Structure 1
Amino acid sequence: TTAALTAGLERIPDQLGYLVISEDGVLAQSAGEMENDEHTAGIMMEMVRTASRFRLPGTADPAFKRMSILDDFVYVVTISGQKVFVVKRQHNQHEPISV
């Protein structure tokens, strides 16, 4: 069920919202700051399609399973089954370590 699908997303620390997108780009489920955000869904699906074109020669493995996009926030994109999961999280930047 969709509720079981999104229950884990709701428990991710620092998450501000999420999208679950189907293959055809239609929003299946969303919440928080990403609720009904079809614009972001379209951008994320285009990034997934672009990244999916890059494969190692001679392998049938998917090009990737997870990608992170860093901005003022972190967008974590995971592909599972026929769905694309996008979670928007706080970007907790750490100070560089001085040696």
Structure 2
Amino acid sequence: MERSNVSVVALAWFRREEWNELKRICPDLHDTYEEWLADAQAGIEALGSPLKDQVVKVILTVDELRKWKRATGREIDGKVRARLAVKGANQTNSTRH
């Protein structure tokens, strides 16, 4: 099969119902889900067209982040979340072909 050359922007995305627990393992995040969501949406809009249409929201769950932390022994910061989002987007993209 032919592979698409379309670029995507992977963005770590979170669920409102997990926010309090997420903050315990990722204290560098915004204080509230609403603050984070507004900032994330503003960031997407700032990309402009057509790039903002290529954003892939990769949901990172508390369970996934805990497993990663246990497996690596490392803290979960913005760089780690970004890498995990890219990895998730790549896995999703590879299953589409």
Q: Which has the higher strand share?
A: 1
* RCO comparison, higher one (Cα < 8 Å, 6+): 2
Fold equivalence (TM over 0.5): no
